[in-house]
Chain A
Amino acid sequence: MEIQGYNLPDDLYYDADHYWCKLEGGLIVMGMNDFAQKLAGEIVFVQLPFEGKKIQTGKKFAKVESGKWVGKVMGPVDGEIAASNQALETNPKLINQDCYGQGWMYKIKPDDPGKIDALTHGADKIRSWLLADIERYKKG
């Protein structure tokens, strides 16, 4: 769905830092959402952790650089990295071009796939959460 110029599909799950997640064949696929990629500007580097790296909910496991900013990527759930999108090594701009498709970032093997429910999901919740952040953004 489109909310004030930002495209946030309502079938995805979102963490507080505007990364999206979805369950796919027992794995959680993760990437940056449209609001975050627009705010970040051109992504110039993405850390791509190796398969097997353990991640924890709310703990940093990678960094993303947009030229003006180095940001952290936090674990959305407990688990381990099953894959990182190697295409981002040479072309991190894929995140800006297609954040829900070719610009996906990580696949995570979750300890408990049900934990994805702790993330923001459902059209109404996504809408009110994003509107609150847009408001904060506008205020500066």
Chain B
Amino acid sequence: MELFNLGKVPWDRSQLIYHALGELNREALSLVSPATPYVCLGFHQNVDVEVDLEYCRSQGIPVFRREVGGGAVFLDGRQLFFQLVLRKNNPLVPLGMEAFYRKFLEPVIQVHRRLGIPAEYRPINDLAANGRKISGTGAGHIGDSAVFVGNLILDFDYDTMARVLKVPDEKFRDKVHKTIRENLSTIRAELGPKAADLPDETGLNAMLAEEFSKVLGPFTPGRMDAELEAMMRTLGRKMLPESWLHRRGKRVNGRQVKVRAGLEVLHRVHKAKGGLIRVDRTVEDGRFRDVDISGDFFVQPKDAITRLELFLEGRPAADVRSLLADFQANHDFDLPGVTIEDWLAVLE
């Protein structure tokens, strides 16, 4: 299997290389990091919904749609990417998703542990240290290959991450910023003062290569040959134009930002007969957190909405219909023109 230990590369090559290796069915591990920052969009996301393109353009931050799932992320040179490309039918590739991630996250766990960070696998595709996510990963089929990608996060620019996302208002942005900061850690943050002893990029990539070879066998040096360059050019012509970026993605109701598996920040607006209802909320491991309801509906007494917010706090989001029925049956309030169906439109 080939090893492309390339270090810093132009931002577009940090994406095109694994797409090209996948299309060419060349089994390889690629270790790269972008020389300049960019935003990377999940395969089925709508760029107009997810990313503040105007801001990105004003700051010269390119936006790229990858052929791997997940959410929009801000990537820069303080993140080191590992990109594994294996033939779909390679016996090393487990059939089940969890087994796949568990197997190929193991080398990444070992690198963190060698650095002194107690990283652990968290199903299905997260790596956590001291309760916080510490690496982002994704996978998919490209060509006839199974591709696994992820990053070592040395430092993370939380401010720019929250800034490049498209948000309904600044309050939502603050919420996203706070939630990401609370739930995503970095290698430097975990190491604290010991970060001064952290190996440089070359050293970290050498550790990654060594740990991955324990799972994959020995590597041969990868060659940026004519075939690979030609495929990267071909894919660049397809994936770098605006038309690819603006492909239609999945339909989403309102705005939702996934921070990690099981943690989402959501915003929804719904026009009920009795007025506009707007709800900001977080769903953490299936439970409501920080439900914030506002709008221009009439409600008497005024504190009924605060009581509903408190009532929902910590309760299972999947039970929302019965929770709302329960609240309505046991609380005395008047909310004309707003039915349980209206509440479900913003809370389900």
Contact = CB atoms under 8 A, between A and B. Distances in A.
Interface string B77-105: 00000000000000000111101011100
A131 B43 CA distance: 33
Contact of B69 (A47, A69, A136): A69
B140 A71 contact: yes
Interface residues of B, number: 23
Given A41-B124, A45-B44, A68-B124, A133 B95 contact: yes
Which of B95, B125, B249, B250 has the most chain A CB atoms inside 10 A of its CB? B95
A67 B125 CA distance: 10
B99 A68 contact: no
B251 interface: yes
Interface in A66-110: 66-72, 89-90
B44 A136 contact: no
A137 B99 contact: yes
A69 B140 contact: yes
A63 interface: yes
Nearest to A90: B251
Interface in A44-59: 44-45, 47
B97 A70 contact: no
A139 B70 CA distance: 27
B68 interface: yes
Given A39-B96, A40-B97, A41-B124, A70 B103 contact: no
A24 to B, nearest CB: 28
A68 B139 contact: yes
Contacts of A40: 97
Given A68-B139, A70-B43, A140 B124 contact: no
Given A68-B69, A70-B67, A70-B69, A136 B95 contact: yes
B141 interface: yes
Contacts of A90: 251
Give the dominant DSSP class at B's interface.
Answer: loop
A67 B94 contact: no
A69 B67 contact: no
A39 to B, nearest CB: 6
Interface string A126-140: 000000010011011
A65 interface: yes
Contact of B68 (A70, A72, A137): A70
A44 B94 contact: no
Contact of A65 (B69, B99, B125): B69
Nearest to A92: B250
B251 A137 contact: no
A62 to B, nearest CB: 11
B95 A39 contact: yes
A137 B69 contact: no
Nearest to A41: B97
Nearest to A140: B99
Interface in B13-70: 43-44, 67-70
A66 B97 contact: yes
A40 to B, nearest CB: 7
A37 to B, nearest CB: 12
Contacts of A71: 140-141
Contacts of A67: 69-70
B43 to A, nearest CB: 5
A137 B96 contact: yes
Contacts of B141: 70-72
Contacts of A68: 69, 97, 101, 124-125, 138-139
B345 to A, nearest CB: 13
Contacts of B69: 44, 65-70
10 contacts: A40-B97, A63-B43, A65-B140, A66-B69, A68-B97, A68-B139, A69-B139, A70-B67, A71-B140, A137-B99
Sorted from nearest, which 10 A-B pairs have the closest CB atoms? A70-B140, A140-B99, A45-B250, A45-B44, A137-B95, A70-B69, A140-B94, A65-B69, A72-B141, A136-B95
Interface of B: 43-44, 67-70, 94-97, 99, 101-103, 124-125, 138-141, 249-251
Interface of A: 39-41, 44-45, 47, 63, 65-72, 89-90, 133, 136-137, 139-140
Given A65-B69, A70-B67, A71-B140, 15 more contacts: A39-B95, A44-B44, A44-B69, A47-B44, A67-B70, A68-B124, A68-B138, A69-B69, A70-B43, A70-B68, A70-B139, A133-B95, A136-B94, A137-B94, A140-B99
